[in-house]
Amino acid sequence: MKESLERFIGPRVPEAGGTQEQLRYMLPTIFLGLAAFCLLVSIFAPYWRMKLLAPQYPGGLEVQVYVNRMTGDVREIDSLNHYIGMRPLEEAAQLERSLSIFAIIVLSLLVIAAIYVHNQWAVLLALPALLFPGIFLADLYFWLRYFGQNLDPTAPLSSAIKPFVPPVLGEGAVGQFRTVAAVDRGFYLALLSSFLILLGLYFHRRAYKPLVEAARRGQLED
């Protein structure tokens, strides 16, 4: 059991060493720890926002999408979408939003766990958090496409509006409506987390690969 655990965790960090050697082993901890922190903080900031410009709303309507909720002019946008047959925004990604807080906490804990694993398994632990920003955008695109391609044929303006795909980023137009979509602070924090994970894994490999190889040579000699 102990040998299996050591095989998974990897070699121990040498206790002796100068300042430069200690820094080499600290860098993965610093970057991966910061990555987990940024990912956790991103929960409290919007990941995506969309502004709807319509003739009856000269100032526009805006909705902010957090990982677990939506804020802004959701009701007003739903009332406009009703005329073209689009479903209410709250019906999108209900499962994802219900699990998002728990999922991000788990992802952050996996990144922290990667700090204590001194071999290639650290990459697998950190990989889900590394890919999270891309997964968020892919899921957002899926729901935007699903809503835009499945309009209610009985809606008042159904004959005037053809199925469409609202843009995840940038500008789009549907009839008299124009949308401007962009990622927001939460997404940038998650993206920063991914960048820090890459840095952490780079320094992790530099620090622990020589120890892993030395341990393997020792096993072969035995």
Whole-angstrom Cα distance, residue 102 to residue 129? 13
Per residue in 128-166, pLDDT tens? 999 999 999 999 999 999 999 999 999 988 788 889 999
Residue 179: the pLDDT is 92
Residue 3: pLDDT above 60?
Answer: no
Residue 15: the pLDDT is 67
Q: Which residue reads 């899921």 in tokens?
A: 139
Query: How far apart, in Å, are the Cα atoms of 203 and each of 4, 31, 144, 198?
Result: 25, 9, 38, 9
Pairing of β 177-183 and β 70-72: unpaired
User: Which DSSP symbol is given to 109?
Assistant: H
Contact in structure between 62 and 73 (CB atoms under 8 Å): yes
User: Based on the number of CB atoms within 10 Å of its own CB, is 124 exposed (0-12), middle (13-18) or buried (19 or more)?
Assistant: exposed
What is the pTM for the complete model shown? Answer: 0.90
Per residue in 45-97, pLDDT tens? 999 999 999 888 888 999 999 999 999 999 999 998 888 899 999 999 999 99
**Within its chain, how far is the Cα of 204 from the centroid?**
22
Whole-angstrom Cα distance, residue 113 to residue 168? 33
Residue 140 has, within 13 A of its CA and on its CB side, a CA count of 24
Per residue in 15-56, pLDDT tens? 656 677 788 889 999 999 999 999 999 999 999 999 999 888
Whole-angstrom Cα distance, residue 137 to residue 159? 30
Residue 21: the pLDDT is 78
Residue 222: the pLDDT is 47
Which is more confident, 10 or 145?
145
User: Which DSSP symbol is given to 47?
Assistant: S
